[in-house]
Each structure stands twice: as C-alpha cells, then as structure tokens.
C-alpha cells in the first residue's frame, strides 16, 4: 500500500509540474506579468518552482528504489563504450561507481534542461544524508532557471505582445 501511495504522489506531483509549469504556462504567466510586472512574477514563479522542487526532492528521498537508479545508470553506461555516451561518462566524476554531478554541472543542468531534470540530477548526486546541501542546490538551480529562461523568454514574449497590441489599437 505504501509503495502504491508513493507512486501515486509522484505521478500527481509530476502531472502538476507538466501541466502548470510547462503545459499552460503561457496562459498563466503572461496575465501575471501584465498585472504584476516581470520582476514580481519572476519572484512568484521562483518561489513556486522552489517549493515544487523541494517537495519533489523530499518525495524522491522516501523512495528506497531510487537509490538503485545510480547503479542502473552505471551499468547502462558500461554497456555503451563508444560515442557520445562514453564521452559523457568519462567527464562525470564518480562515487562508488555512480555518476555524481558537481554543483556547477548541476547549475548547467538547471539552465539547459529544466527544474524537473535538475531535481532528479540533484537527487542522484546527493542522498538523504546531504539533504541540506541538495536543497540549497535546488533553490540555486531554480534561480538559475528563472534568470536563464523565464525572464528572457516570457519577458520577450510579453514585450512583443505589448508592441503588437499597441500597433493594432
């Protein structure tokens, strides 16, 4: 029963992320930007992403099976001896045979990919014993996401829409 409940919670948590932060984001963020401005909206989205990521990390720490993910990834990477995966594997530092990302690599993951993948990478690199450091990195990653994606992307879209509406009216 506990395993089923944990999987259900993870599914709902992921669905919330995919729907709110990715699926309908433009319909949520642009009205907020028009009312609050880009900086206050960026702060609100930063807080929402931080709370979501913290919850996701804490949910993942309750999963005992997640500890084995690093071992599975290490075995998969050993099978791929050529190409880009071999190059990536050679670049990743390892601890007990599992890939461990440095804080700079984690910030790059947050900047290039998103909060979902960044939180998973933090969880892979930092087990329950290092929860404080992991949560600090998650919140820093959320700030990186806001600075590298949210402000330029939605600020640009809003500015473009503002110009188009001004020309039409």
- Taking only the tens place, the pLDDT of each residue in 34-93 is 899 999 999 999 999 999 999 999 888 887 655 555 555 556 555 555 665 566 556 555
pLDDT at 106: 93
| HEC-encoded secondary structure of the chain | CHHHHHHHHHHHHHHHHHHHHHHCHHHHHHHHHHHHCHHHHHHHHHHHHHHHHHHHHHHHHHCCHHHHHHHHHHHHHHHCCCHHHHHHHHHCCEECCEECCCHHHHHHHHHHCCHHHHHHHHHHHCCHHHHHHHHHHHHHHHHHHHHHHHHHHHHHHHHHHHHHHHHHC
pTM of this prediction? 0.76
Q: How many domains does one find in the chain?
A: 1
The string of pLDDT tens digits covering residues 87-139 is: 655 655 555 555 578 899 999 999 999 899 899 899 888 878 888 999 999 99
Domain membership of residue 91 as a residue range: 2-168
């Amino acid at each position: 029963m506990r395993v089923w409940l944990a999987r259900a919670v993870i599914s709902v948590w992921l669905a919330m992320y995919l729907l709110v932060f990715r699926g309908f984001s433009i319909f949520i963020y642009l009205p907020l930007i028009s009312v609050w401005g880009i900086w206050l909206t960026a702060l609100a989205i930063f807080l929402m992403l931080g709370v979501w990521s913290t919850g996701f990390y804490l949910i993942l720490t309750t999963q005992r099976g997640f500890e084995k993910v690093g071992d599975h990834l290490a075995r998969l990477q050993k099978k791929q001896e050529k190409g880009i995966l071999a190059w990536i594997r050679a670049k990743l530092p390892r601890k007990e045979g599992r890939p461990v990302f440095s804080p700079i690599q984690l910030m790059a993951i947050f900047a290039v990919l998103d909060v979902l993948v960044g939180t998973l990478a933090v969880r892979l690199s930092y087990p329950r014993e290092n929860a404080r450091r992991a949560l600090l990195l998650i919140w820093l990653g959320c700030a990186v996401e806001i600075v590298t994606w949210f402000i330029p992307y939605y600020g640009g879209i809003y500015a473009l829409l503002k110009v188009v509406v001004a020309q039409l009216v």
